[in-house]
Structure 1
């Protein structure tokens, strides 16, 4: 199992609440604004003392006092239309992102906000490295909000790949358990943004070259969103628990990944919030033919 590394964001922590809490409406459109909060002490550093209006919108979460940020405090906010999808697609998506039908945990959607910068240890087989780089390049070229490339220094990377084989048995990441050929350990922050991953290739566990390469590609793909494999897709899908390799990335894999990295949905939410947002959006579109939009400040 991949574990979360707990960290604290030292400057500002922004919380995305259920979007339905903030509606604006006119005769043709309904907009949903993501509500962002800032810790009280950080707010005072940036904006001075609270106004009377600010004091009326304080929120208490855990041991923190949070201040609701008004639109003028979010100068870089952007507006994105809601992306409508059918129930079959959303059922697949919630399975691969939230492990909907198997997990009892409160899993949240995770994604890479920054570019993924790959660094390959010298232990990695050259043919496998070449194949994985081509695979990563193919993915990156198809997903607008996901950029992946190789860097020459490990210190400049956020995605480290190494191999255990007959010539190199050093385990850089001991928290990676036995994954029958390949596994990863990933870190994310309080906004569910992935920021560091170590991927292990273990040639001593899986000797068949083709099977190993397929396993590594699937492991890499899963680390793009801490995704889960499911039984509902055929064995050509990287999201399938029976993946056997394919010359090309399947269309459903690309569509699910594009959707995950689109901004037509709220980011970093849990399953309950995700489903509630879609329920609201569907009702608005069906009953009133209203156009739904989200506001972001990243």
Structure 2
């Protein structure tokens, strides 16, 4: 009996050590035994590699094809994505970022004192996002505040999204910063899923209506994943600090959203978890 108990405990330890290496979006993974080759029979209960290590195999595994670099024109697209989501890609970062998503449809209400041409231009921008059919990202507008979960709010009070003691390299950098004259707050659950938000903008902080539209587009896009803005690529990227308010949405920005929303994760995803998913995507090929 003692030998049986020891053997059972050993199996539990081995299985548990590998169970977290694979993301399964449907339910608890079935455990199967197969040999490590592409022609193996997968009708068994356990998966056995050539080195005799057991790990769970699931026929219900999430499709991770979107994590293959060959799907994108930019060879470094997945590397850029990690910077946009996690900011720091080194060990022991000063701030630990996590992947954050909207898991419910976004219904936007815009305050009536936001100029009509700004509202029209912003709605046109959203329609272009929707035309690209990004999975799991549904955005619409409502004329009734009570039906919304995302409020674009005009405020008479000057707002900034940074501490008053924060120092910029120049006054121009401060004025062009995404969080000068505007900010956003998102409501999230314990699993890093957004279900409500408020974007505040101080109209008097901007010289023209085009400047207001530009800021709304950038800040709303950023709030779709609490993305980190930086000069990753051309100035027609919504995440560029010197964004040129392009009429078209750059493929780079669309691909960020496609990667981000191809799968709605049912758990917190840290950088190490995401890199494990990249490894699994290669194994699924």
Instruction: Tell me if structure 1 keeps the 8 A contact 2:64–2:280.
Output: no
Query: TM-score under structure 1 normalisation?
Result: 0.64
Residues 131-150 of structure 1: pairs in structure 2 closer than 5 A: 131-142=121-132, 143-150=134-141
Aligned length in residues: 220
**Match of 1:19?**
22
Alpha-carbon distance, 1:268 to partner: 3.9
CA offsets, 1:221-245, max 9 Å, x none?
1111111112221100112222121
Higher relative contact order (CA 8 A, sep 6+): 1
CA offsets, 1:136-161, max 9 Å, x none?
12112211321111122222211001
**Match of 1:96?**
84
- Unpaired segments ≥5 residues, structure 1: 1-15, 32-70, 72-76, 285-289, 292-298
**Match of 1:58?**
none
Aligned CA RMSD, in angstroms, stands at 3.2
Q: Pick from 59, 63, 81: which aligns with 1:81? A: 63
**Match of 1:108?**
98
Residues 37-186 of structure 1: pairs in structure 2 closer than 5 A: 79-83=61-65, 84-86=67-69, 88-101=76-89, 104-142=94-132, 143-164=134-155, 169=156, 179-186=179-186
Q: Distance in 1 between matches of 2:117 and 2:23?
A: 50
Q: What SS does the corresponding residue of 1:81 show, helix, strand or coil?
A: coil
Is residue 203 of structure 2 the alignment partner of residue 203 of structure 1?
Answer: yes
Greater helix content: 2
Alpha-carbon distance, 1:104 to partner: 2.4
Residues 210-289 of structure 1: pairs in structure 2 closer than 5 A: 210-263=210-263, 268-282=268-282, 284=283
Q: What SS does the corresponding residue of 1:276 show, helix, strand or coil?
A: helix
Q: Distance in 2 between matches of 1:29 and 1:117?
A: 48
Q: What SS does the corresponding residue of 1:146 show, helix, strand or coil?
A: coil
Instruction: Tell me if structure 2 keeps the 8 A contact 1:118–1:160.
Output: yes
Alpha-carbon distance, 1:123 to partner: 2.2
- Unpaired segments ≥5 residues, structure 2: 1-18, 43-57, 70-74, 164-178
Greater strand content: 1
**Match of 1:28?**
38
Larger radius of gyration: 2
Q: Distance in 1 between matches of 2:142 and 2:99?
A: 27
Alpha-carbon distance, 1:114 to partner: 0.7
**Match of 2:173?**
none
Instruction: Tell me if structure 1 keeps the 8 A contact 2:183–2:219.
Output: yes
Greater alpha carbon shift after TM alignment, 134-143 vs 246-255:
134-143
Q: What SS does the corresponding residue of 2:76 show, helix, strand or coil?
A: helix
